[in-house]
Amino acid sequence: MRQKLVAGNWKMNGTASALTELGNLAYSCKSAKSEVLICPPSTLIYRASNVCVDSKVEIGAQDCHSATYGAHTGDLSAEMLHDAGATAVILGHSERRADHAETDKLVRAKATTAIAAGLTAIICVGETLVEREAGRTMDVVRAQLEGSLPDDSSGSKVVVAYEPVWAIGTGKVPTVEQIAEVHSGLRASLVKRFGGETAKAIRLLYGGSVKSSNAKEIFAVAEVDGALVGGASLKAADFAPIVSALDASA
Ligand code: PEP
């Protein structure tokens, strides 16, 4: 049985005042059965992990460098993030692939470094609208999966998030059939590459405009083990019902 997971990505939002919201979330999630992760901006990781100590909410990062240390001004290593209190890191988010020209090869290198530092790598894949309309969705996500996951991936080291680029922050959500098609295709690719036992332990999250109003139907889709949530993770009142919907689906 894969442990369900709901992860919140705060992106470039939040200063110290947001920690009150995090405290509210930790309180709301005190009986959560699912794993709950919040990835604030790096400036808040240390304080956020202190706020969430002894709570069900874990703290993650939104990116790391592929090197372990060195002359990379402005960057943060996986070890630094782990040291600050992070237990996981989002890698290959479409905004980083677009804004920073991140390739699958780079994402894989980052994942390898993150795992070595003791972080769970949440690796994002997803097609653009142009790719979907050209009927290339499965080719695109399979290629990203193949290129971005390290060879020693396992359920304890890696989580995969399917995030159609056109659904992120737009309010547009794929149909449950479309989500099911991609998730079962991703599972089949994982089985082919890593073998059944390893592949079946790797969690597959859906991400893209998940809200409390659509969470229940998304969580009912086969092979959906939880969600990666952007906008609706910023307020405890929006995020906690998504956690409850995932708990109810377990
Ligand atoms: C995301 O950025 O990972 C995301 C899923 O955003 P949103 O939930 O706002 O679409």
- Per DSSP, the residues of 138-171 read HHHHHHHHHHHS-TT--TTTEEEEE--GGGTTTS
**Domain residue ranges in the chain:** 5-249
Rounded to the nearest angstrom, the distance between the alpha carbon of 163 and the centre of ligand 1 is 8
pLDDT along the chain (250 residues), means of 10: 96 97 97 98 98 97 98 98 98 98 98 98 98 98 98 98 98 98 98 97 98 98 98 98 95
In angstroms, the Cα distances linking 104 to 12, 27, 77, 165, 205 are 23, 38, 18, 16, 18
Regarding the beta carbon of 163 and ligand 1, being less than 6 Å apart is answered: yes
- Give the mutation target among 228, 239, 242 for probing the ligand 1 site: most ligand atoms within 8 A of CB: 228
Please state which CATH class domain 5-249 belongs to. Answer: alpha beta
Tokens 């995030």: give the residue: 163
Rounded to the nearest angstrom, the distance between the alpha carbon of 62 and the centre of ligand 1 is 12
Q: What is the dihedral of CA 4, 208, 9, 12, to 10 degrees?
A: 180
Rounded to the nearest angstrom, the distance between the alpha carbon of 76 and the centre of ligand 1 is 23
Rounded to the nearest angstrom, the distance between the alpha carbon of 106 and the centre of ligand 1 is 22
Whole-structure pTM value? 0.98
Q: Give the contacts of 188 (CB within 8 A, at least 6 positions apart).
A: none
Contact 227, 15 (CB under 8 A): no
Closest Cα to atom 3 of ligand 1: 230
Regarding the beta carbon of 174 and ligand 1, being less than 6 Å apart is answered: no
Regarding the beta carbon of 8 and ligand 1, being less than 6 Å apart is answered: no
Contact 233, 9 (CB under 8 A): yes
Closest Cα to atom 4 of ligand 1: 230
Closest Cα to atom 6 of ligand 1: 230
State the pLDDT at residue 1: 83
With vertex at residue 221, the alpha carbon angle to CA 111 and CA 237, rounded to the nearest 5 degrees, is 75
Rounded to the nearest angstrom, the distance between the alpha carbon of 134 and the centre of ligand 1 is 23
**So which residues are the catalytic ones?**
93, 163
Q: Residue 245 is which amino acid?
A: A
Closest Cα to atom 2 of ligand 1: 230
